[in-house]
Amino acid sequence: MSEALAPRAPFDRALLLSFEPPKGGALANYVKFFTTDNLWTTIGKTLKLALPATLINVLVALPIAYRMRIRSRWQRTITTLLVVPITLGTVLIAEGMLTYFGPKGWLAQFLQLTHIYDGSIRLTHNYWGVLISLVISGFPFAFLLILSYVTGIDPVLARAASTLGADPKAQFRHIYLPLLAPGLAMCFCLAFVQAFSVFPSAVLLGAPAGPTRVISIAAYEAAFEQYDYSLASAIAMIMGFVQLVIVAIVLSLRSWFYRGPVTGGKG
């Protein structure tokens, strides 16, 4: 019994702890969060990063994975190339981006030398830096997931559709997309949860005092700068709740779609 509950123990403790602030009533932490400007705004700032990053990852991975569904000599090469960032880790990506995308980085120098863009370029220490890093680190994950969904769909279905008059566009719209929809929703949820808990790149590549002050930074500060574990627990609870709401919304959309085997019959 106690063993079965073991994984939940930290959650239970944090939940209890969040209702036991050093000062004030049981809900004081939550009141504080939603009345302090540099706390409640972190929800919006995190969503503003996590939702676009997730959308970009899923929507860019989908057409590429769709193209990769047919085995070809390029399939392995491209898949490998796209998957490499998953092995790098956020800190290494951040370091690379500071070198390449910084104001004196290779990208800026290249653009200015070739006069493609002469204005000043800031892709680090702001919102865009964090967004780009979330896309780089999250994309392989979304891509691999969607690729496995796409290749799981029996290609004979598309062939059958083509003999019935469906051109490649219609095959995608009427056959692949509806069959992929539940998988895409699941992929969105997983990628979103991953992006929502962004921390290292928000600090290293963003403006952690300003536009990229995400909710995990607020929790970190409460716990390790103010040593207010109770408030930190409350922030963690709110963070979890927001994720849960988004995931619940997306997964409830799944019920609109067919969910079942994605092959065309027996045999």
Both tokens of 9, joined, read 């123990």
Q: How far is the CB of 58 from other proteins (least distance, A)?
A: 20
Q: CB under 8 Å to 248, separation ≥6 — which residues?
A: none
Three-class secondary structure of residue 134 per DSSP: helix
Closer residue to other proteins (CB): 7 or 265: 265
Closer residue to other proteins (CB): 93 or 187: 187
The runs of H, that is alpha helices, within 115-176 are 127-151, 155-163, 168-171
Q: CB under 8 Å to 193, separation ≥6 — which residues?
A: 243, 247
Q: Which residues bind other proteins (CB under 8 A)?
A: 154, 156-157, 159-167, 170, 174-175, 178-179, 257-258, 260-267
Closer residue to other proteins (CB): 185 or 198: 185
Closer residue to other proteins (CB): 23 or 266: 266
Q: How far is the CB of 106 from other proteins (least distance, A)?
A: 42
Q: How far is the CB of 79 from other proteins (least distance, A)?
A: 22
Q: How far is the CB of 206 from other proteins (least distance, A)?
A: 42
Angle CA 223–225–226, to nearest 5: 70
Closer residue to other proteins (CB): 111 or 186: 186
Q: How far is the CB of 63 from other proteins (least distance, A)?
A: 20
Residue 120 half-sphere exposure toward CB, CA atoms < 13 A: 5
